[in-house]
Amino acid sequence: MLEFWQCASPLWHSRQSHSRESIRLIHHAYDLGINLIDNANRYTGGVAEEIHGRAMKGRRTDFVVATKLVKRVGHRPNDEGLSRVHIMQEVENILRRLDTDYVDLLQAHDCGLGHAAGRNAACLLTT
């Protein structure tokens, strides 16, 4: 598995430079047999998912795509958490950024029981 949050870090030289390097890294990982890439809607404001999508262009079925949501991505009340509104809105945004029509694994990000989203998830698991 390639954990992608570091690949799109603004600490890399320039946006264009780190985009090329990130794509090169994904392709190299694939050549080594790594085809599961873990991402999140919040990593670098969605840029990580955009780079991830460009790296998979024409090769989508070769990859297993995992991404996460829950954390705040805006200022409105439904811009975080596990509400239906947030999940549906973010899934649309994720699919657009990845330039795909499906993800293989959608996860709740940092969803401990001390967090409201974690309590909601725990309720889902016990009902």
CA–CA dist 101, 14 (Å, integer): 29
Sign of CA pseudo-dihedral 69, 42, 97, 78: positive
- Identify the helix (H) or strand (E) that includes residue 68: strand 64-69
Residues across the chain: 127
Active site residue 102: no
**Percent of the chain that is helix, strand, coil (3-state, to 5):** 45, 10, 40
Do 82 and 121 form a contact (C-beta atoms < 8 A)? yes
User: Which residues are bridge partners to 64 per DSSP?
Assistant: 36
**Active-site residue (options: 18, 19, 40, 43):** 43
**Could you give the residue numbers annotated as active site?**
43
